[in-house]
Each structure stands twice: as C-alpha cells, then as structure tokens.
Structure 1
Amino acid sequence: MQNKPDPAVGPSDNARDVSPSADGSRSEAELVERESRWNFALVGSGLGVWDHNLKHGTRYYSETWKTMRGMAPDEEADGDFESWLSLIHPDDRDFVVKAIDHQNAGDPDYQVFEYRERHRDGRWIWIECRGACVEWNEDGSPARLVGTDYDITARKEAEEHLAHMSRRLDLALDISSIGVFEADIEAGTVEWDSRLMAIYGIHIGSPKVANDVWTDALHPDDRERVLTTINDSVAQNRSFQHEFRIIRGDGVERVIRAKGGFFLDGTGRRKLIGANWDVTDEVLLNSELQRAKTLAEARNQELEAAKESIEHLALHDYLTGLPNRRYLDRMLDQYAAKCISSDLTLAVLHIDLDRFKQINDTLGHRAGDAMLMHAAKVLKANVRADDFVARIGGDEFVVLCTIDVTPRKIGNLAQRIIHELCRPIRYENHDCRFGASIGIATGSGEALDAKQLLLNADIALYRAKSGGRNRREFFSTDARRRIIASKRLADDILRGLERGEFIPFYQPQFHARTLNIAGVETLARWQHPEFGLLAPDKFLAIAEDINVVAAIDGLILEQALADRREWAAQGITVPKIAVNVSSKRLDDPTLGKKLRALKIEPGTVAFELLESISLDDCDAAVTANLRQLRKLGIDIEIDDFGTGHASIVSLLKLSPRTLKIDRQLIKMLPSSSEQRKLVRSIIDIGRSLDILVTAEGVETNDHVRILGDLGCDVLQGYALARPMPAQQIPAFIRSSSWRNADTGARALQSTLQGSIAAKGGK
C-alpha cells in the first residue's frame, strides 16, 4: 500500500552493500544472510513489503508488492497518494483513508484492514494490508511505517461463494421449512437451528438442546420405534430416514420426516447431522388422496358392477332372464362361424305361443307374465347346455342349435317343446292352457347365413300358425316364394293407398216391384299399375294382415260421396249408396268424428256389416259406433245374411235397416222349393221386424220373377246390372237398359204393375 506521501527510507533492491568487508567481519555476514533469508521467506509467502520512512522521506515497495498489482518488478512506484487513492474501489475509499490515519496513529484495531484496488488489467483485487509504526519522532509522531500487502482475492471469492451457497441453503431451508441439527455422538450434545426449534415449538436461547427435549417431544405411540431406529443407526454407523409424530410445545400434534447421516469432523470426532421437516399437511393430503383413491376404486367397482348390470339388462329380457333380440343378433354370427369352422349344421327354431293373448286379456298381465316365465323354463329344460334360447319380444322365442343336428332330431325337439307347453298350468285357481307354433330353418356350409335362417324360420312359423297352430313346420323355398309374393303385394297396397289406386265400382240395386233404381252398392277395386283392375279377393287378405282395410274403406266412402254429388250435378239421383265396413273400422274410437267431418246427408248412406262380425258379440266400441251411425242418419245393413250364426235376438238388438240374403241362398231358387221356402221365411222375418230385404246374386229373369213373387224388396245382380265405374252410372241410368224387352225385365215390370193395379194400387 501507500501511505500519505512522506519521505521514507528502508531496505530496497538498491540497498547499501552489506557483503563481508576485507577484514571479514562475521557479524556483518550473518546480517546479510539473515536478510536474504527473510527476503526469500517474504517472496515465498506472497507478501508484498512496503516501507515508508517518514523521517527521511523514502519509500520502498518490493517486487511482490508490484507484481500483485500488475506492475513490472523493475517498475518504479511514484508513491503519489492521490494517484494511488484513485485506484481504490469507490465504496472502500473513505474507509481506506480512515484506516491509514488510524494505522499511522498506531491504533491496533487498524493494524490489519482489507480493501479493493484496481489491477492494471482492470479487474478489482482484494488487498489485506498489515502495517505498524516501528519508529517514532521525539514528539511521538510516527517516523517509520513498515508493513505487508497480501492479495486475498481468491480467498474473498471463496468466501463469497461460500456465503452465496450458505444464503442459498438458508433460503432453501426456509422455503422448505427444514430444520437442521448436529449431534456430537461422543460428547452426547446436540445443536438445533432456529427452524428446527420452530418446528418443535420450543424456545431456547442457545442452539445446544438437551437430548431429552427431542425424546420427550416424540409421540408415545412412536417413541420406541423411533429410538430403536436411531440406536441401530448409531451402532451400525448407517444413515437413516423415518417418519414419526411429535407433540409440540404448544400441545399440537405434527408429523415429522427425518433424515440423518454420520461424518467425522476435522478432529476425528464422529458426528451426526440431520434434517427434520413437518410433513403433516402432506400426510393429511396423502391420507385424503388415499381415501379418495379408495373411494374412487369403490366407485369404479360400483360403476363396473352397474356397467355389467346395464350390459346384462341391455342383453337380457327383464321378465324371463333370457337373452333378448339384441343378444340373439350377436350370437347368430358366432353360431354361424362355429358351424362353418366345424362343419356343423345350424338350426333356428322360431317359437310363438298360441292362445297367449286370450290368457293375457282374460286373467290379466300378471297371468301372462307367469305363462311367459313358464315357457322360458320349459325351453331351457328341453334344450342342451350349448343351445341358445332367447325371448325376442311378446310371446316369441328363438332357439339356436348346433353340433350333429339332423331334421329328425330338430323335429323331435320341436314336438317335445310343443307337447310340454300344451300341458295345463295352474294359476290362481285357474287351469291355463296354451300351446306353441314353431317354425324351423336349418343351414350349413360356407354359404351359411344365420340372419337369413332367422327370416326363414319366421316364414316357417307363419305357415305353422296359418296351418292350424300347435304344430311345427320346416322352411321350404315354396313357402318363401309365397311370403315374398305376399310381401310384395303388401308393399304395393301401401303404395297404392298413397297414389290413390283404390277406386269405387258401383253395382246398381233395384226395387223389386218397379225395377226403379233403389241405390248402388259400392265395391272396392284396385287399379294395379301392373296387374290391372283387381277385385277384393286378390288383395283383401293381405290388406287385413297389414291392417289397412279400414283405410281402404275410408277412401272408398269419401270417393263414393264425391261421385254421388257429381251424379246429382248431372241430374242423376241415386237414392242411397251402400259401402262395406270392416270390423277394424267399427272398432275405431274416432270413427264418429271422421264421419261427422264428411257431412253425410241422413238417409243417403248405408253401412254393410258382415253377419259374422256385427251381431252376437259386439263389444263396447262397436256398440258405441253403431249408435253414432244412427245419430248421423246412416243406415245399417246386414250383408250375407243366412250363412252366419245371427240370432233373432241379435237382430232386434242391432235393428238394421236392411238384410241382404246371401247369393248362395238365391242361386237355387228356380230349382229348389225348399230354398224358396227358406228365402220366403227370411223375407217374412224382415217384414215382421220392419226390416227391408235385399237379394244378392240375381242372375236370371227367373230370379227376378220368383223374388218379386216372394215379396223381396230390393234386387241386385248381373241379371239387371253389373258393377261399373262411376262415370258409367249416369249413362246407364238414363238408358234404362235393364228394362229392355229382350231381357224380360220390361214384361216383368208390366206384370208387376198389373198385379199392383188389380190389388187396388197398393
């Protein structure tokens, strides 16, 4: 360093010659050797020597002093105080001036001080300055100052690095709330840092803590386990990690996690250093997470169980527990694949319970459910374990069979099922009897199509039911062709309804006495785009199967009303139009509303009811609709009377306007006196009940004459007119062609008119 500029004298590289004189002074030689030794020691120690002789105004700076500042060894240091002071770090400058003053004054507190000085290469170096006054003037002021400078930059950097590491460690410990302890194993002492004390909730001024403070803090239930762990670790010189509970000084229970390890200090003493941190919140969180996990696993199990239950419900019938249609669709492909790969035959049995609806309707749905469950048990009991039984809806079941299936075995199985299902079942003091119709289809080989087999079994079932029920039928290609034709016809009927292909034809009806027009019967015809004009016998059965007869009846009635209005506009009066009505239409609860919307003129329309559907077993809906018809002024006629089972009582109850004698009774009139007596009896019954009688099937002049003699009221048949389209009615009526002499009708009319005149015009 440099002191304030005062002259100084001291040893230098140009010091006086102290080599031994000629006289060989031993003391002087020793002095030279001693000085050389000290010079080497100072150079080796890295100390730069400075010597300020204030009395003589000389300054000395050693080569090491210059080198540590980046100066050349032979460079002269001018010793200017202000110039040197400008090299001091600005933050240290005032301190250095103060320290030099105190050092010059002999203040022992400033014999050593540190500061930063600018190196020749521009960096800052740390200097440790040691100095003292070695000579004083008579007035007590310093006369000579000698000292050393030492470059402590590396030490300072190490200290700063250590301090940085310490700060970072302290920060990390603070952030993580980790407390540290150090134990002297041999001395039995332990030191805690402030963080550890805070964790345990204790307040001790000294970091030295008695061992029993920690032992007493341990939770009683954990103490033995923890002490055993510590003792074992100490005995085996092995690091440890464990978790335990403590009771803090404030009585709060906390969970502590501890880690520790052993080391030897610089004196060779064995010590233990460790860390504790509070993991109560973590343990609580883990406990909560574990509880949540356990709960989630339980819920997952519940969900899995619910999923399985839902899947089971989705694939099984709720009532019988059998697989349902959805499950059957899955199994069809599996069974087919099994048969193809194993060269087996697949048989499909489609089973429909007979008379089940009657049991359900008469004894209630509970009885019906009991029958279905019984049927399921019978099916399961009569098939093999590998066979598949499903309820596909209502009272229908399907059985899939594989392995060595032959038509005979399958037929025997079906017959056994029918036999078992026909046995009476006791239900609430009732003997319930039902049967089964079964359709069977089989297939094998690479071309096996299970879904087609199911369709084929359905076709065979249709044949079994239409063939008398309680029987089995195997699928045949002929039956399939008939079913396909029926299906095509059904599709055509539906399209025909949409396109208005169903049209009315009209067969005129005549008063038997005058042969005047009494009305027309409306007959449905289908103008098929491919097959031409079709009568009801070509489509009625299929229309009933697809439940559209009522729709056809409705369309025909609407068109007939429109045609009658058109005839009236042309000056042609048709007193009444009669239309057929099906049992389905009579069951329609909205029939009255629909008819009121047509604004029918009372007395101009008659509904023809088949004797078999309209008399003895009328239900409430039919009875209500018949009352509606009478209120609307629509007459009721009984069609095909004489071939059914109607009683006189039912006629009285129904009170029809007209009876139509079936053509089978009219046909033999000319050749059978017995037939004439029967027809006369029907006419007499009608007259006695004030009911008009119409004869159908009037095909010859003899029929016209005989029925007139028998007192019949209205005639209808080919002898007078055939059915014709609406546009032909006006011309036909204007022409009165049915009265031509060549038909015998004119002569018959004259005879009848003469007979009326002879009786006084009655």
Structure 2
Amino acid sequence: MGLALASDDDGAVMEFHWCNKPFFNVMGFDESDVIGQRATIFVGPDMDQSAHLLTIDKLMRWEHFSVEVQLTKKNGEPVWVAMTWTPLTDPENGSRWWLCSLIELQARPSPNKNVLDFRSRSSVNDDLLTKYTEQVAHLESENRRLRSIAKAVTRDSNEDPLTGLSNRRHFEANVSVWIAALRNRGAAFAILYIDLDRFKAINDTLGHEAGDGLLIAVASMLKRITSNTDLVARLGGDEFVILRPLGESALKISSLADEIIREMSKPFEYDGKSVSCGASVGLAIADENTRNPDEIVGDADTALYHAKSTGRGRWSFFTAEMHAQSVATRHLAAELLVACKRKEFIPYFQPLVEASTGRIAGVEVLVRWSHPTRGLVPPKDFLDVAAQMGILAEIDAILFSRLREAVAYLDTARTEISRFAINVSAGRLSDSAILHDIRVSGINPKRLTVEILESVYLEQIHGATSWTIEELRELGVEVAVDDFGTGHASVQGLLQINPDVLKIDRQFVQPATESERARALIGSLIGIGKSLGLKVVAEGVENEAQARLARDLGCDILQGFYFGKPMAESELFKVLNETDGCLWCPISKVQHSELSMDILP
C-alpha cells in the first residue's frame, strides 16, 4: 500500500510520500527509490499500452478503479499485480492524494480481465454488488485512517521536526507564492535571514542536546514576537528566516530585527545553566522588480554576511552597494576557478634579517595571483573569497609546486636561504593534506616554517590541529604564530600550540620609536616570547630607527619594507648575489647609545 500526493490540476501527476513494507517487497524497491518519485518508475517496456493509457485516463478523472497489469521490479523482472487506486481528499487543506494498493498475482490473468471501473456497475450481479458494497464500507474506514496519515505526511513534508516551524521546502514554496502575488499587484514583503552567533561553540562545549534546546527556545521566541501573517521557518542548522509583509514602511521590519537582536542578547537557560548566544540578521525587501526566490533570499544572505563581518550581534539591510559587491564576488569566484585550472598562482618572497648581523635569515613566501589582464593581484584581494569557496588547499598545492622550482633556482645563488616561511590558515592545519603537500614538494622540511596566518582561538586548537602540528614537528618543520598581540592569539593558546617562533604584529612595532607606552608594550610581548624560549620576529620594520629599537629590545629577526618588499625569485636571486646576503649593517650598541636621545624621545 502506498500514498501519493497528487497535483490539483492533473490526477496522473503525483509523488509517493509513504509506502508500507509489503509494497516495497512486491516491487523490490527500497524506500529511497520510491519516496518522492512518480508511479512511472514501475512502468516497464512490457506493460500493455491499452492498460497504461486507460490507467492514466482513470487517474486524470479522479476515479476509483482497479487494474491487473504487468509492472517491472527494480531488478528488471516483470511482475503481474492487481493494482487498486482510491482517490482521497484532505478536508482541512484540500490536498488530493491517491491510495495505491498492490496484490501480487501468481499467474497471468485472462486476456479479457483487465480493468474494472468501480463507477460502472451495470454488468455486476447482486452478489458481487453486495461484496463491493462491503469493500466500499471497508475502504471508507480505511480512508479515514489514511486521511490522518496524509495529514501527518503533509505536516512532516512542511514542518521542521525539531522546532515545529516551517522547513526549507515550505519556506521556498511560500516565497514563490508571495513573489507571484507581488507580480499580480500584491504587497511587497521582507525577508529576515537570522544566523545564531557562537552556536557551534555551544554545541561543542555543552553538547548537541543543549544546542537543540537552544534552537527550540529560539523558535519559540520567534513565534512569540511575530504575527499570524508572518511565516517563520528554520532552514537548517542555526539558520532561521521570517517572511513578513512590508506594510506601510520598512520601519516595522527594522523594529522586528531590533527585537530579535535584543531577545537574542538575553541568556537562555538550559539544565540550570545560563547560555549566551546572540544573533545577526540580514534584511532584504522584495518589490515588483524581484524576479525569483533565489534572488531575494541571496540578497538577505548577503546582508547577513555584511552584518556578521561588521561585528555580529547586529542587523543590516541589503543595499545597492552590497549588490555590486555580490556581483563582483561572484565574478571573482568564477575567475579563481579558472586560475586554479591554469595554475596562475606564484610565490613571492620577503626577506627575514638576523637582528644581530643584518644577514638574511630566511624569507616569507607570499602568494600572488598572476592574472592575465590585471597583472599581479595581492592576496588581500582574493584570499577571503578563496577561503569561502574552499579552494585554499588547491591554491596551496599550486604554490608548493611552484615553490619547489623557485627554491632550486635560489639555491644556485652565492648565499643560501636557510628557511622558507609559508602562511597557513588555522583551518588548513586541520587538514592533513598540508603534510602531503610538504612531503611531495621536494623541499627539505627542515628548511620550512609554517606560520599560522589567521586568528587562533582556543576552540580551534582541537585534536586534528594538534595532531597536524606534531606531525609537522616530526618532519622538522618550524611552527610560528603570526600577528601576535592583536588580540586573537592568547598566551594560553601559545602554550597549547607550543610554537618555535613568535611574530609581533606591525601595529606594535611601527609606533614604538615615538611612544613610550608602545615601547613598553612591545617589550612585554618580546618578554612573553623569550620566557617561552621562542625566537621573536618584529614585523613591519620600515626605517633604521625601528630596526635598531627592535634589535635592542630583544627581537631575534626583523622583517619589513626597510629590508625589502616582496619580490619574485629572479629579483631575490639578484639581491642575494649583489649583497652577498647582508641586507643591513646594524650599528654597534656604543654608536646606538650616542644616538639614543635622537631615537627615543
């Protein structure tokens, strides 16, 4: 027995939503093969055409009928069945259903026995009529039971099982209906796209039961603060949406967004504990120019991304500027895919200088995109989009392959470069593919330093990341923490990562020659590194005074435009040969003390 939701316009157009086990046994199909499919999946090449056409005609007329016909099992074997179709209607929402029952026949029926129309009883004798009357009474009872099943199936197909809100399917169907009404001089409406902040941290620290409890509480709150004319849905995960008629102005929309932010800023209670989460909201308005559901949902999603990127816990309206940025991002994403295919990413090198001698201590490897029309594109113009696309690993692999050639070329210079530092995101450290890239690069791992490029939050240092760091050390690779002191990498995080090198961000180095407080701060950061036995690098050195100060405060290595901007391997090769590897001539401490009054106010 199976239950299929039919089209209101054509009874022969339907999708199966439920079948019992005997139904699957007769046809040899699994549930995943049938649910969501039309009955035509059972029609094989051996089915009698007249029976097929007659069946379609009965379905289109919404008639109750039975047919004995040859169908095809999943494995291709033919099977003769008695198939009965009973039309049902849900009295609450008017949706129309078909109840299909199958009985497998042990032998092929006689040629004259094909279709029996329950609406045509002129050739049926009294006994048979009595029998069919009893069957109809039974079917009416079964009809009532199946109506409840149909109601449950309809609810399940439209409802999020955890929160009871509309699900993605129901939301998308309603957006289409609202847009169609809008084109027919209907009212404009708004979409509020809601994403919970720090939900993953709650799930990871308190468990999935706490996460589910939070989602249910959020759903309850959203239903409480919205009206009956709104549609509230959970799209999945921690994402919710609200459809709301625009009304006379957008003020009510922004007021609702304010209320959501305000309610989400309050702690939720779970298992006697207070849980703080927060939310960000993206808003977009559909008007007569809106073409399709994907467009307006995408606009709201873009506004949500803008809200999260500007600090979270806030809302943002979609603007024309965001639209232009969205179009540019999509264009950039398409170009990046082509760039990966053409391997257009190349390494550039910036010198690292020993603070005590001024000789080259190594280089930092920085990616550049060799664009066919725009020339060299710096990483700040494409890495964020590449990260969103999930292609950083592919770019890294291309860079490693190019780096192998560059290292081989630079090794022919008169001065050897002992170390090559490569930037790796914290996310990439969770991917063991970075180990594979290093192993197949052909570069001695003991000449490599891996710099953790992005913010390192404690919750990101999980088992996979720690394992990768240990494997890197086994290979002989150094580990450095970049941009230390910017508020992203904590001392506790340092202890967990246990790096070899600490790089102090340029925002502390550059003002230190002019500010006593800045000097005290950079001295403290250097002290932290030294207390942990780490080599300390000063980034962003742009003049002689900054270089001398960083050296005298205890930095081991200096880096910045003062010693050289990022350059191609051919330019670096030339610099190495012309300078014999000495990029700076540090003055003695005696000379420095004579000049200290000029340098340190």
TM class by smaller structure: 0.5 to 0.7
Paired residue secondary structure (1:524) = strand
RMSD after superposition: 3.8
Q: Which residue does 1:629 correspond to in 2?
A: 472
Q: CA deviation at 1:578?
A: 0.8
Q: Which letter does structure 2 place at the counterpart of 1:397?
A: F
Q: Following the alignment from structure 1 to structure 2, what is the Cα–Cα distance between the partners of residues 330 and 641? A: 49
**Is the Cα contact below 8 Å between 1:586 and 1:622 reproduced in 2?**
yes
**Is the Cα contact below 8 Å between 1:497 and 1:552 reproduced in 2?**
yes
Q: Which residue does 2:10 correspond to in 1?
A: none
- 1:572–1:329 CA distance, 2 compared to 1 (3 A): same
Q: Which residue does 1:584 correspond to in 2?
A: 427
- 1:517–1:341 CA distance, 2 compared to 1 (3 A): closer
**Is the Cα contact below 8 Å between 2:354 and 2:557 reproduced in 1?**
yes
Q: Which letter does structure 1 place at the counterpart of 2:579?
A: S
Aligned residues: 468
- 1:298–1:649 CA distance, 2 compared to 1 (3 A): closer
Deviations 1:81-117 (A, max 9, x none): xxxxxxxxxxxxxxxxxxxxxxxxxxxxxxxxxxxxx
Q: Following the alignment from structure 1 to structure 2, what is the Cα–Cα distance between the partners of residues 424 and 619? A: 26
Q: Which residue does 1:384 correspond to in 2?
A: 227
Matches within 5 A, 1:356-755: 356-402=199-245, 404-445=247-288, 447-449=289-291, 451=293, 452-568=295-411, 573-598=416-441, 600-610=443-453, 612-613=455-456, 618-644=461-487, 651=494, 654-668=497-511, 670-671=513-514, 689-707=532-550, 712-736=555-579, 745=584, 748=586
- 1:457–1:291 CA distance, 2 compared to 1 (3 A): same
2:189 paired residue among 346, 355, 365: 346
Q: Which letter does structure 1 place at the counterpart of 2:565?
A: R
Q: Which letter does structure 1 place at the counterpart of 2:408?
A: R
- 1:389–1:642 CA distance, 2 compared to 1 (3 A): closer
Q: Which residue does 1:94 correspond to in 2?
A: none
Q: CA deviation at 1:287?
A: 6.8
Q: Following the alignment from structure 1 to structure 2, what is the Cα–Cα distance between the partners of residues 733 and 286? A: 104
Q: Following the alignment from structure 2 to structure 1, what is the Cα–Cα distance between the partners of residues 581 and 441? A: 33
Q: Following the alignment from structure 2 to structure 1, what is the Cα–Cα distance between the partners of residues 217 and 447? A: 55
- 1:736–1:352 CA distance, 2 compared to 1 (3 A): same
- 1:631–1:406 CA distance, 2 compared to 1 (3 A): same
Gaps of 5+ in 2: 1-124, 593-601
Q: Following the alignment from structure 1 to structure 2, what is the Cα–Cα distance between the partners of residues 386 and 614? A: 42
Deviations 1:643-684 (A, max 9, x none): 447666765664433333333343345555665666566656
Paired residue secondary structure (1:724) = coil
Paired residue secondary structure (2:482) = strand
- 1:526–1:370 CA distance, 2 compared to 1 (3 A): same
Q: CA deviation at 1:457?
A: 2.4
Q: Following the alignment from structure 1 to structure 2, what is the Cα–Cα distance between the partners of residues 413 and 711? A: 55
Bigger Cα Rg: 1
Q: Which letter does structure 2 place at the counterpart of 1:505?
A: Y
Q: Which letter does structure 1 place at the counterpart of 2:422?
A: V
2:153 paired residue among 278, 291, 310: 310
Q: Which letter does structure 1 place at the counterpart of 2:448?
A: V
Q: CA deviation at 1:584?
A: 0.3
Q: Which letter does structure 2 place at the counterpart of 1:658?
A: V
Q: CA deviation at 1:525?
A: 1.4
Q: CA deviation at 1:441?
A: 2.5
Matches within 5 A, 1:134-283: none
Q: Which residue does 2:95 correspond to in 1?
A: none
**Is the Cα contact below 8 Å between 2:456 and 2:489 reproduced in 1?**
no
Deviations 1:250-301 (A, max 9, x none): xxxxxxxxxxxxxxxxxxxxxxxxxxxxxxxx98877766666666666666
Q: CA deviation at 1:397?
A: 2.4
Q: Following the alignment from structure 1 to structure 2, what is the Cα–Cα distance between the partners of residues 380 and 685? A: 51
Q: Which letter does structure 2 place at the counterpart of 1:581?
A: V
Q: Following the alignment from structure 2 to structure 1, what is the Cα–Cα distance between the partners of residues 487 and 194? A: 34
Q: Which moved more, 1:631-640 or 1:592-601?
A: 592-601
Q: CA deviation at 1:619?
A: 2.8
Q: Identical aligned pairs, as a percentage?
A: 36
**Is the Cα contact below 8 Å between 1:345 and 1:405 reproduced in 2?**
no
Q: CA deviation at 1:336?
A: 3.0
Q: Following the alignment from structure 1 to structure 2, what is the Cα–Cα distance between the partners of residues 468 and 690? A: 35
**Is the Cα contact below 8 Å between 1:350 and 1:461 reproduced in 2?**
yes
Q: Following the alignment from structure 2 to structure 1, what is the Cα–Cα distance between the partners of residues 366 and 255? A: 49
Q: Which letter does structure 2 place at the counterpart of 1:364?
A: G
Q: Following the alignment from structure 2 to structure 1, what is the Cα–Cα distance between the partners of residues 278 and 315? A: 11
Deviations 1:203-240 (A, max 9, x none): xxxxxxxxxxxxxxxxxxxxxxxxxxxxxxxxxxxxxx
Q: Following the alignment from structure 2 to structure 1, what is the Cα–Cα distance between the partners of residues 224 and 554? A: 68
**Is the Cα contact below 8 Å between 1:347 and 1:405 reproduced in 2?**
no
- 1:688–1:325 CA distance, 2 compared to 1 (3 A): closer
Q: Which letter does structure 1 place at the counterpart of 2:160?
A: D
Q: Which residue does 2:120 correspond to in 1?
A: none
**Is the Cα contact below 8 Å between 1:348 and 1:441 reproduced in 2?**
yes
Paired residue secondary structure (2:358) = coil
**Is the Cα contact below 8 Å between 1:563 and 1:726 reproduced in 2?**
yes
- Give me the TM-score of the superposition, normalised by structure 2: 0.67
- 1:359–1:343 CA distance, 2 compared to 1 (3 A): same
Q: CA deviation at 1:695?
A: 2.9
Q: Which letter does structure 2 place at the counterpart of 1:330?
A: A
Q: Following the alignment from structure 1 to structure 2, what is the Cα–Cα distance between the partners of residues 573 and 409? A: 67
Q: Following the alignment from structure 1 to structure 2, what is the Cα–Cα distance between the partners of residues 520 and 355? A: 37
Q: Following the alignment from structure 2 to structure 1, what is the Cα–Cα distance between the partners of residues 217 and 531? A: 55
- Give me the TM-score of the superposition, normalised by structure 1: 0.54
Q: Which letter does structure 2 place at the counterpart of 1:628?
A: E
- 1:602–1:286 CA distance, 2 compared to 1 (3 A): same
Q: Following the alignment from structure 2 to structure 1, what is the Cα–Cα distance between the partners of residues 473 and 313? A: 43
Q: CA deviation at 1:582?
A: 0.8
**Is the Cα contact below 8 Å between 1:642 and 1:661 reproduced in 2?**
yes
Gaps of 5+ in 1: 1-281, 756-762
Q: Which letter does structure 2 place at the counterpart of 1:475?
A: F
Q: CA deviation at 1:583?
A: 0.7
Paired residue secondary structure (1:533) = strand
Q: Which letter does structure 1 place at the counterpart of 2:232?
A: V
Q: Which residue does 2:14 correspond to in 1?
A: none
Q: Following the alignment from structure 2 to structure 1, what is the Cα–Cα distance between the partners of residues 144 and 490? A: 70
Q: Which letter does structure 1 place at the counterpart of 2:243?
A: L
Paired residue secondary structure (2:169) = helix
**Is the Cα contact below 8 Å between 1:316 and 1:322 reproduced in 2?**
yes
- 1:302–1:726 CA distance, 2 compared to 1 (3 A): farther
Which one scores higher on RCO, CA 8 angstroms, separation ≥ 6? 2
Q: Which residue does 1:193 correspond to in 2?
A: none
